[in-house]
Structure 1
Amino acid sequence: MEDIPEHMRKKYLLPDMDSTFRLFAAHWHAVDRNWKYPIHKHPLFEVNLVLSGTQEMIVNQTSYIQNPGDIMLLGPGDVHESKAIGKENMTYYCLHFDVDERVLRELLCRNKTYFHASNSDLATAIQPALDKLIKLTKDEAAQRVESRMMILSALFELFAGISGTLSKRDSSVTVPRMSQVASQIAARLELAVDQTEDERLEGQDIETIESIAAEIGYSMSSVNRMFTSVYGVSPRQYMSTLMLKKSKLLLMDPELTIETISAKLGYNNIAHFSRQFKRWTGESPSSFRGRFYK
């Protein structure tokens, strides 16, 4: 067999990925024409789709009228309330989610176009994924493993549709200086969390939010304000999310002791790590690990 010529030798790799997300309170709901949901806000992103009837949603004091197929896309902290209007009963589908994929969070938080008509680019892009999620939501067997994997597949299809549409719209807009600074801070925090135990033992400085702020020449109050505006969470909350994700991944490695994991994460002792992990999740590291390894 002939060797492949050097100019034809190629290798293709998918990028390494390490992302987590949360799906919360996804529901299909049929309501009567007098239904209303009071004013509220939450720390999650929300997709709200009207299936039949008409809904008025007030977001940050601006009113939007949703007809069948119209979608609302909201961000963390957006103050909103809803009610059915008109003479018909109403059906809608709603889901809340959070995601730590940095670029996607930037796109979502930068988006201030809440209403997307049924024939808009975004509604067209994500409707197939929403159709799958609606079907799975109404499926009584949704708890089965294969159904849960189908839900994951549809969710990633939803994220792809949202990010693809917002990216096209965002590409023609100059990224504000505030977003550039926040992205720089986020990247530095990710590197700090990924710093290895060996690097710390070698005396390399561990970056903190305070040291990053000082190095880039901004006060902590400015850093907090810019970062929260771009990502919807404070730098400290963002770093905690990264630490929790890394903790869970390490705990799923049966070759590592909890003491070793504590050291890898930079904690002075296992008790400190255990307290922090329980504060994040409501359970101890050993309890979390026990759900995977008996």
Structure 2
Amino acid sequence: MADLRVHAAEHGFNAPSICGTFAFCGRQVELFEVNLVVDGVQQMTVNGVVYHQHPGDLLLLKPGDVHAAHSETSPMTYYCLHFDLDDPLLRELLYRNRSVFYRYDNSLTTRLRPRLEKLIAITSSNNRKSVSQRMMALSVVFELFAEIIQCMEVEQSAGIRRGGTLLVSREIADALEGYVEMGSLSNSTEQAKDVIRQISMRLGYSPSSCNRAFHQVYGLSPRQYLSTLKLKKAKILLMESKLSVEDISARLGYADIAHFSRQFKRWTGESPREFRSRFQ
């Protein structure tokens, strides 16, 4: 069975956004993103290619994509879902997909639209923050992933490769996740290098080959992946534990709380205490 760890809830289930005239310049996508225009027209530029989204048109973005957008009509309504996946098979399948834009009548769009409409209904309800509604939203998200993966498998008409690249990347990911779960964190850069050295020696690959294999599957360097794991762990501890921010900082390997707070705000745009207050 696939090791499917989904991080959608921590990024938030939001209601559709209704905008007047708006624009934002190039930003790098940090998570996978499904972007659906509900009403009006949006111009989205992804990695230098311009797309015009009309109602029902969908964009599927990957971490690392650079995008910019502005509304071509006012008002304009769109729905955006951010998510992340730890399973290397699914990540590789999504990264191998070269399509970004899907018209309203595309097979992927027609299969995803009912699920997205369910999410819109859930996230637009008055009690959308309740536990039951969040569980319903998660259930729909899993249905959404199943549809995306099925369509990708058909489009790519090839099985997911399970050879050396996947083995190396999974071993690296497991080792990095072990650091985070055990709380044995200090210097992310050195820890990532140490993991690469150990695995390359054991499997007979060069460190550079291990780095390339990992990036091919995860779309990130091992150091960047370790940082994302630390952020996810920080969010979980802030949401679910009674540990103080100072204790969480120490558990994640930061020398002092100020360093942790600065890094967390750089990642999320808000301080650890501001983030925690939203879940209390």
TM above 0.5: yes
Q: Measure how far apart 1:48 and its partner are.
A: 0.5
- Give the match's secondary structure for 2:16: strand
Query: Does structure 1 residue 68 correspond to structure 2 residue 55?
Result: yes
The alpha-carbon distance between structure 1 residues 188 and 148, as it changes in their structure 2 partners (threshold 3 A), is same
Query: Does structure 1 residue 107 correspond to structure 2 residue 93?
Result: yes
Q: Measure how far apart 1:59 and its partner are.
A: 0.4
Alignment of structure 1 residues 91-106 onto 2, 5 Å:
91-106=77-92
Aligned equivalent of 1:161 = 147
Q: Distance in 2 between matches of 1:233 and 1:95?
A: 20
Aligned equivalent of 1:49 = 36
The alpha-carbon distance between structure 1 residues 79 and 110, as it changes in their structure 2 partners (threshold 3 A), is same
- Give the match's secondary structure for 2:42: strand
Q: Which moved more, 1:55-64 or 1:217-226?
A: 217-226
Count of residue pairs the alignment pairs up: 241
One-letter amino acid of the counterpart of residue 60, structure 2: L
Aligned equivalent of 2:172 = 189
Give the alignment's TM-score, normalised by structure 1: 0.67
Q: Deviations over 1:95-119 (max 9, x none)?
A: 2111212211111222221001111
Q: Distance in 1 between matches of 2:36 and 2:125?
A: 19
1:231 corresponds to which of 204, 212, 218: 218
Alignment of structure 1 residues 247-286 onto 2, 5 Å:
273=251, 275=253
Aligned equivalent of 1:38 = 25
- Give the match's secondary structure for 1:275: coil
Aligned equivalent of 2:117 = 131
One-letter amino acid of the counterpart of residue 231, structure 1: Y
Contact 2:39 2:54 in 1 (8 A): yes
Q: Measure how far apart 1:153 and its partner are.
A: 0.7
Q: Measure how far apart 1:211 and its partner are.
A: 2.3
The alpha-carbon distance between structure 1 residues 57 and 111, as it changes in their structure 2 partners (threshold 3 A), is same
The alpha-carbon distance between structure 1 residues 127 and 142, as it changes in their structure 2 partners (threshold 3 A), is same
Give the percent of matched residue pairs that are identical in Structure 1 and Structure 2.
Answer: 38
Q: Measure how far apart 1:91 and its partner are.
A: 1.2
Q: Distance in 1 between matches of 2:195 and 2:101?
A: 38
Query: Does structure 1 residue 77 correspond to structure 2 residue 64?
Result: yes
The alpha-carbon distance between structure 1 residues 243 and 212, as it changes in their structure 2 partners (threshold 3 A), is farther
One-letter amino acid of the counterpart of residue 29, structure 1: S
Aligned equivalent of 2:188 = none
Q: Deviations over 1:41-85 (max 9, x none)?
A: 131111100111111111000111111111000000100011122
2:75 corresponds to which of 89, 93, 98: 89
Cα RMSD between the aligned structures?
3.8
Q: Distance in 1 between matches of 2:99 and 2:216?
A: 16
Contact 2:88 2:217 in 1 (8 A): no
Larger Rg belongs to: 1
The alpha-carbon distance between structure 1 residues 245 and 49, as it changes in their structure 2 partners (threshold 3 A), is closer
- 5+ long unaligned stretches in structure 1: 1-14, 198-206, 253-270
Aligned equivalent of 2:16 = 28
Q: Distance in 1 between matches of 2:95 and 2:119?
A: 23
Contact 2:92 2:216 in 1 (8 A): no
One-letter amino acid of the counterpart of residue 165, structure 2: A
Q: Distance in 1 between matches of 2:132 and 2:159?
A: 41
